[in-house]
Structure 1
Amino acid sequence: MIDTLAAAPAAEADDLSASALLASIRSARDVEHAAAAEQLDLAARWADLHPPESIHSAASFTTPGCEHEEPIAGPGCPLVAEFCAAELGAVLGISTLSAKKLIGHSLELRHRLPRLWAHVHAGVVPAWRARSVAETTIHTSPSLTVEAAGWVDAQVAAAAAKIGPAQLDRLVAESITRFDLADADPTADPEDGYLHVDPRHVTVHGQDVHYAGTVRIEAELDLADSIDLDNALAHGAATQKALGSEESLDARRAKALGDLARTQTALDLFHHGTGSAKTSASDEGGLPAARQVVLYAHFDGGLSGETTVFGPTGRMEHGLRLALLDQVQAWCADSRTEVIVKPVIDLHEQLATPAYEVPDRIREHVILRDRTCVFAWCARPARACDIDHIIPFDHEADADGRPQTGPTETGNLAALCRTHHRLKTRTTWRYRMLEPGVFEWTSPHSHRYRRDRSGTTRIDEPPN
C-alpha cells in the first residue's frame, strides 16, 4: 500500500507535458511562498502573546565571542519575552536561535519595513528575500532609526522581487548609505559613518563536511587584505612545490591557508627541509609545537596482537564532523605536532561525588556521552556547555540530615548550553533522563520531545 501510494504522484507526473510540469512546479513554489508568509505572520502573533512581563525579560541575541547583546529586532519594534522562542523553535524543529531570528524578522518587517511586509503577504516578494533585508536592517551598526528603516523599505520594496540576492544585498547597503548622506551634517567628515553595513566576513561552513574531510570557507575581505592573503597563499603554495609537493595548485593554496592559521607552519617545514632547523622536536631548544590547536577525535579501535588497530573513520567533537584516520595521521605527522592520547572512558560506568561541584572526570564523561546540549534541536557542542543537575542539588540536605535528592552523579547530570540552562531554571520547561544519554523534555504547553545521540523526536501532541 505504501509503495503504491508513493508511486502514484510519480506516475501522474509522467503523464504531464513539459508545459504542465513547469506550471505544477510554479504552483508548488507559490504554495511554499504563501506558507512561509503565513509562518512569518504567525511568528509575529506569537510574539504579541508574549510581552516581556509574560515570562521573564526582553529577548535578545547573544553573539558568540562577544560580550554585548544584539536586539531581536530594530528600534520601534515591541519587546518579546526572552524564553518564548524556545517553544516556537521546538514545535518547528529548529534551534532556539533560529526561532529568535524568525520572530525578529517578522517584527522587523511588520513594524519597520511595512512595504516589504505587505508585498510578502501579497505574494509579490518571497519571504526569504524579505527576511534577508530584515536581517541587515536589524544588525546594522549603529542601529537604523525608524526613519532610516522606512527609507530603506521604500527603496527596496519595489525591486526586491526583480533582482538577485547579491543585487538585493547591494541595494540595501546603498539605500542605507544614501540615507546617511542625505541626512549628514555638511560640516562633518564625509567618510564618517559612510557605510554602516560592513560586508566583511569569514564564514566556515563546518556543518557541511565533504566525505574527504574538507569544509567550505566563504569570505569577503578588505581589498588590501585580500591582496595580501592572495600573495601569502601564492608564496605558501610555491614553497610547498619547492619542497617536493606534487599536489595541485588549489590543494597547495588550501594547505597554505591552514598554515597561516597555525602561524606559518610552512615556514617551519621549509627550515626543516633546508637543514636550517633540527628535525627532532625534542632537539629544538625548547621551541613550542608549531601546531597549537586542540582537536578531539574519536575512533573505534581494537587489539591485533600487541598492535592497536583503528577503523578508517571516526568523529571530530567540534561540529560533530566526520574524521578520516588517514587525515588525522597526516596532521600528527606534520611539523612538531604534539599528540596526547587520553584513556578510554566507559560511558556505561556510573560516576558520582558527594560534592556539588562536578569534577573533571565526571564532566568529561557527560561531555562525551551527550556530545551537544541536550535541549530539543540544540547543536551547541557539549564542551562549551554547562553541566546541569537535572534534579536540583539540595545544598541543605547534609545539614538537615536528609538524603541528597539531586546527587552529583552521571545519572543526574546533562550538558546544557547557557541559554537552555537558564530556560530550565527560570521557566516551566522540564526534562528527565530516561536512560544514559536519552532525555525527555516537556514544554510549558505540554509538548514533549525525546532527545538522544541521534537527535530530537516529537513524542506526542499536547491535549486540546
Structure 2
Amino acid sequence: MIEVAAGPGTVEAEDLTASGLLAAIRSAREAENQAAAEQLDLAARWADLHPPESIHSAASFTVPGCEHEEPIAGEGTPLVAEFCIAELGTVLGISTVAAKKLIGHALELRHRLPRLWAQVHAGAMPAWRARAVAETTIHTNPVLTREAAGFVDAQVAAVAGRIGPAQLDRLVAETIKRYDLAVADPTQDPEDGYLSVDPRHVTIHDDDVHFAGTMRIEAEVDLADALDFERAVAHGAEAQKALGSDLPLDARRAKALGDLARTQTALDLAGPGADREDLPAAREVVIHAHFDASVSGDATVFGPTGRLENGRRLILLEQLQSWCGDTRTQVTVKPVIDLNVPLTAQGYAIPDQIREQIILRDRTCVFPHCPRPARGCDIDHVVPWDPDAEAEGRPQPGHTTTSNLAALCRFHHRVKTHSPWHYETTAPGVFEWTSPHGYRYRCDHTGTTEVPSDIPPGIPRPRRR
C-alpha cells in the first residue's frame, strides 16, 4: 500500500483522486527541490569551515603530498582545504569526485552566479538546472572572469534556467567574445577571437561499460575529418555486408570503427598496397577478465559470465570468445592466485605476486565509496612500515603481508597519511575507517557500509602527524 504525506498525517494513494495524486506529486517535487537547494547551501557552508588557513597549523606546505589549497570553482570563489571534501562525500554516500563537484557548484553559484543562487533558494529554479550552468562556467576555456560569469548569470536567470546545452554553449561563446577572453592570435581577425576556443575532442567513456560489453565514444572533430570518417565507416560496413555479415547496419558500422582503430596506424607505416594479414597490431589494448572455472576430467569448464576489470562490469564468455577469435589478438592466461592464502615479503617493497593478489582481492580503492579500480591504485601498508625498527632492535609493526596491505588511490592514500582519517583491517580484505568527526565505515570488495560508532559523531579527531 502506498502512502502519501499530507500535513501532519498520511493518506493512502488509493484514496486520492487524480487531482489529488497530481497535487501530491507536485508537492513531493517541491520538497525534493527544496532539499537539493538546502544541500547546496550546506555544502558551501562546509567549505567555509575549511579555508586554506585551517590547514596551516599542520605545516601542510612543508610535507610532500600533504593537504593543500584546492581551487574547485571559478575565479573569485574561495579556496578550500582539499581533505575536507573526502569526509563530506562519505557522509553523503558519494565519491570524493562527486563531493568535489557538489562543493564547486555551490561556491560557483553563491559567488559568481548569485541570481541563479537566489532563484534556487526561492524555489523558482531547480538545483539541477543551476548546477548544470555552474558546471559549464567552471570549466569554460578560456576561463570566465567574475564579470563574464555575471553576464551569463544575468542571461540565464532571465529565463529561470530554461536553457538547453546548445543555447548555453552559444551564450558562453558570445560572452567570451564580448569580454575579449580569448588568447590573442596575430593570424586571426580580432573580431573572431572567440574561435580560438577549440571544441575538438575524442572522449572514451571507459568508466561506463554496458552489460552487453560495449562502451560509448564521443567526439567533436573538423568538418573534413568528420566527412572522411563517415565515408570510411560506411565503406567498412558495406564491405562486411559483401563478405556475408548479417548484422544490422549500426552494428556493422561499429565493427568498422574497430577495424579502423586496429589497422590505421599500421597502414600508415606500411604504405599503400600492403597486405593486411602481414600488418602488426596498431596498438596494444589490455583487458582483464576473470572467470570461475572447474575441472571436469581433462577439460576446464568456464562459467557463462565473468567479471571485467575495465568498467567493473559483468562479461559473457561468448563475448570474450568473439574478441579473442581475431587472429591478431594475443591472449595471456595468468596462473590462478589463491586469494585465501596469505603472502608475505621480507622487506618494504611489494612483489608483483602480492600486488596482484591485493588488486584481485580489493578490486577498487578501499576508501569509503571510492570507485577507482585497484589496478591503478597504490598498495598501502595499513599499519605503516617502520624503516628504523630493525636498526633500533624493535619488532617491525607494519609487515609487508597480505593482511596488512590495501589498495588506495593516490588521493585517499594522502588522506590516510596526512589527516585524522584512520583505518584498520578487521578481516582479510575488510577495512574499517574512522573519519575525522567520528563516522565509521566498513569497506570490502562489495562496497561501503556505515557502522555505529562508539563515540558520537561530530567530535573532531586530532590530526595525526
**TM-score interval w.r.t. the shorter chain?**
0.7 to 0.9
What is the TM-score when the length of structure 2 is the normalising length? 0.86
Task: Within 5 Å, give how 1:11-410 maps onto structure 2.
Answer: 12-55=12-55, 71-180=71-180, 189-190=189-190, 193-195=193-195, 199-264=199-264, 288-289=280-281, 292-410=284-402
Q: Is the 8 A contact 1:125 1:161 kept in 2?
A: yes
Asked if 1 retains the 8 angstrom alpha-carbon contact of 2:156 and 2:163, the reply is no
Deviation of 1:290 after TM superposition, in Å, equals 5.5
CA contact (8 A) 2:70 2:82 kept: no
Contact 2:182–2:197, Cα closer than 8 Å, also in 1: no
Gaps of 5+ in 1: 1-5, 59-68, 269-273, 279-283
Structure 1 residue 191, shift from structure 2 partner? 5.9
Stretches of 4+ aligned residues off by more than 6 angstroms: 181-188, 265-268
Deviation at 1:275, TM superposition (A): 12
Paired AA for residue 417 in structure 1: C
Q: What is the Cα deviation at residue 185 of structure 1? A: 11
Between the aligned partners of 2:184 and 2:3, the Cα distance in structure 1 is: 63
Gap change, CA 1:13 and 1:226, over 3 Å in 2: farther
Deviation at 1:367, TM superposition (A): 0.5
Aligned to 2:65: none
Q: Which of 400, 425, 433 matches 1:433?
A: 425
Q: Structure 1 pair 211/140, CA: closer, same or farther in 2 (3 Å)?
A: closer
What's 1:451 paired with? 443
Moved more, 186-195 or 390-399: 186-195
Q: Partners of 1:226 and 1:190 in 2: how far apart?
A: 28
Over 3 Å counting, the alpha-carbon distance change for 1:8 and 1:157 in structure 2 is: closer
Question: Which stretch has the larger CA shift, 218-227 or 20-29?
Answer: 218-227
Q: Deviations over 1:383-419 (max 9, x none)?
A: 1110111111010111112111001111111110000
Conserved 8 A contact 2:376-2:409 = yes
Question: C-alpha distance in 2, partners of 1:224/1:445?
Answer: 56
Cα distance change on mapping 1:183 and 1:384 into 2, 3 Å:
closer
- Residues 70 and 91 of structure 1: is their aligned pair in 2 closer, same or farther, counting only changes over 3 Å? closer
Deviations 1:213-240 (A, max 9, x none): 2233344443333222222211221222
Letter in 2 for 1:400: E
Alignment coverage as a number of residue pairs: 437
Q: Compute the displacement of 1:117 (Å).
A: 0.9
- CA RMSD between the two structures: 3.0
AA aligned opposite 1:463:
P
Give the SS at the match of 1:300. strand
1:79-131 CA distances to partner (integer Å, 9 max, x unpaired)? Answer: 11011100000000111111111111111111111111111111112111111
2:292 maps to a residue whose letter is D
Distance 1:71 1:160 in 2: 28
- 1:201 & 1:185 partners in 2: Cα distance? 21
Match of 1:65 in 2: none
Contact 1:291–1:338 (8 Å) recurs in 2: no
Distance 2:438 2:80 in 1: 21
Q: Quick check: 1:291–1:337 contact (8 Å CA) kept in 2?
A: no
Match of 2:442, SS state, is strand
Return closer, same or farther for 1:53/1:108 CA change in 2, 3 Å cut-off: same
Mapped to 2, the partners of 1:39 and 1:312 lie a distance apart of 44
Query: Is 1:463 paired with 2:456?
Result: yes
Give the deviation of 1:428 after TM superposition.
Answer: 0.7
Q: Which amino acid aligns with 1:261?
A: A
Give the share of equivalent positions with the same residue, in percent.
71
